[in-house]
Each structure stands twice: as C-alpha cells, then as structure tokens.
Amino acid sequence: MSAGQLPRWVDYGLIPLLNLAAAFLVSGLVVLLIGENPLEAVEILLWGSLGFGEGVGFTLFYATNFIFTGLAVAVAFHAGLFNIGGEGQAYVGGLGVALACLALDQYVPWWVTMPVAVIGAALMGAAWAFIPAWLQAKRGSHVVITTIMFNFIASSLMVYLLVNVMAKPGSMQPETRTFEEGGRLPFLNDLQSWFDFGTAPVNLSLIIALIACVLVWVVIWRTRLGYEIRSFGANATAAVYAGMSPVRIIIVTMLISGGLSGMMALNEIMGSQHRLLIEFVAGYGFVGIAVALMGRAHPVGIVLAAILFGMLYQGGAELSFEKPAITRDMIVVIQGLVILFAGALENLFRPALVRIFTPSRVPAVQAG
C-alpha cells in the first residue's frame, strides 16, 4: 500500500460510516435545539422505516428510485463525467414508459408491456443525455452545465405534452389516462404471499433495479468497454495516448447513464402512479448524486446508500407525523446534512485517517 492510500475497508466502509455519523450528530443537535429528544427521534425514524411491513415496503419503494439514479451518476463518475441531468432524463424516460403502456395496456398482459416499457424508458433517457454528451465530446461544452439546462428543458417539454397533447380528454388535470391492468407492474405482495408490505407500492421494478446493478458491475469491471471507461476517468490523456477514442467513451458512457436514469420512471409510472403526471421525479435524480458518492460508485454501495435514503424518506414521514415539532422541512434539513457530509465534505476525515492507517515514512532501501 503506497503512502496516502487507504485500505479498501477504510475507504469504502469506515469513511462513509464516519460521514454518516457526523451528519446524524449535527442533525441530533438541530433536533435538540427545537426541544425534542434526538434518541427518541432516531427510534421513531428507524421504526417508521424498518419496524413494520408497510414501512419496509415504502423504504424499498423509495430505494428503487435511488438505485436507478445512483447507478446513472456512478457510471458517469467512472468516466470522469458529472451527470447532473438525471432529473430530466428520468422525466423524459417517463414518456417512454407512458407511450408503451398507453399503446399496449388494453391488448396484452403486463409481462408483455414491461420489456417494451423498459426499452422505451432507457431509450428516451439515453436520447435526452445524447445532446449534452455530443456537446461535451465534440464542442467541449461542460456536461455539468448542459445537463442542468436540459433538466429545465425536460420539465417544460413534459408540461407542454401533458397539457396540450397527452392529457385525458375532458380532464383539467395535466396527466394521461390511468393505465389498464396490462400497463401496471405487479406489487411484490401480489407475486409472493410471504411478502407483507401492506399498501406500500413496492413492485417488480425493485427486481429490475437489482438486475441493473449486476449488469453495471459486469459492464464496468468485466468488459473492455468498462476498462476503457475507467481508464479514461482515471487519466484521459493516457487513455487517448493508448488509442482510446474520447468521443466514443464520453457518448457511450452518457448514453448508459441516461438510460439508467430513464428507467427510474418504471417504478413511479408503471409501478405506482399508473399514469404519466407532472413532477413525478420529485428530486430523485439529484439525490442519486449523493447515493453514488456515499456508495463509492459501486453497485453494492449504491444499494446500501439507496436503502439509507429510503429510510430517511419513509422514516422521516413517520417522524414528522409522530413529532409535529419536527416538521417535514426539518426532515429535508436532515437529508440535506447527509448529502452535505456524503458529498461536499466527503474528505473531511480522510487526512486524519491517512495519518493513522499509512506509514509515516517509507523505509530506505539498504545498499547491497
């Protein structure tokens, strides 16, 4: 182990735990300042997210969204790209899901509609990521700026479509008609009787998300394309010198990232809402950035981080219900602190840990 390099269990395990502990410590101080007991608040949060079947179901439902968006950000990370456009890509991905469901739901069962919806979501999300990718690869436009801009364009585009093109006839609501059974993913409760998630809408897209994790691991760590992506992200100059095409790597990576973001819409549109509606993404694309950072851009870490944020969403709702003094805005503050320590302050503890876990000096080589 070279100087300054931490053991893997420290880098991938201890540092995220320390960041998480620091976030909850600061959150506890905030709760204490408003006159509530932090330990009691943690107990309610844990019970609300993991203490009963329905709570677990909602935790897994939210985690499904975060797995897709976290994977999307992680794939871009490995190529040295910062895809902040997950929100817009997921939004447009919902269009792909809705078109598949609206076209097929009255004629075929869900298991025929599902692969078409998966492909539609991935293609629409990838298409929305293509222009920022092309501008980065061909024109040098920074992908952070273009993907942020495309989030706003996607929002405006979807509002126009839902109000003027796809709205249900005779309805004032900016949404499509409700899908028939052929356009709805089954809940896990319906697939296996031993699942007991109550009314939680956790559905088959959770399984699809876990399959996506395996596929991302295979692509990034077991294929030539993945090796090129990681090499380009580690040292773009050396990768180009070795004969790798930066244009190809940037565009292909962003297409994969956008496709994963687009697939998030499966959970919300086909799995839960059963219609395309305004603002169904609800910030999941941005939370995916924190999930990827906390999960160290590895599928296993992303699943664990996604479950953590799912717990914060579901347990936070229970906490604000049981403790009215801890409002929903306070829960957002706690989530923001976790994102802060997992992202902006990710290296807060690293210098001290480097001093602890690496030798202070390298022994000199003795002469023959």
Does residue 247 register a pLDDT over 50? yes
Say which DSSP state 347 is in: T
Query: Rounded to two decimals, what is the model's pTM?
Result: 0.91
Q: Residue 203, by phi and psi: left (phi above 0), alpha (psi -120 to 50) or beta?
A: beta
Q: What's the mean pLDDT in 59-88?
A: 96
Window from 52-66, 323-337, 354-368 with minimum mean pLDDT = 354-368
Two structure tokens written together for 247: 């244009």
Whether 353 and 10 have beta carbons less than 8 Å apart is answered as: yes
Does residue 136 register a pLDDT over 90? yes
Does residue 19 register a pLDDT over 90? no
Q: What is the pLDDT confidence band of residue 150, given thresholds at 50, 70 and 90?
A: very high
Report pLDDT digits (tens) over 255-272: 999 999 999 999 999 999
**CA-only gyration radius of the chain, Å:** 22
Q: What is the pLDDT confidence band of residue 355, given thresholds at 50, 70 and 90?
A: confident
Query: Partners of 277 in the beta sheet?
Result: 175
Q: What is the pLDDT confidence band of residue 94, given thresholds at 50, 70 and 90?
A: very high
Whether 323 and 47 have beta carbons less than 8 Å apart is answered as: no
| The pLDDT value given to residue 343 | 66
Report pLDDT digits (tens) over 210-236: 999 999 999 999 999 999 999 999 999
| The pLDDT value given to residue 4 | 58
Does residue 367 register a pLDDT over 80? no
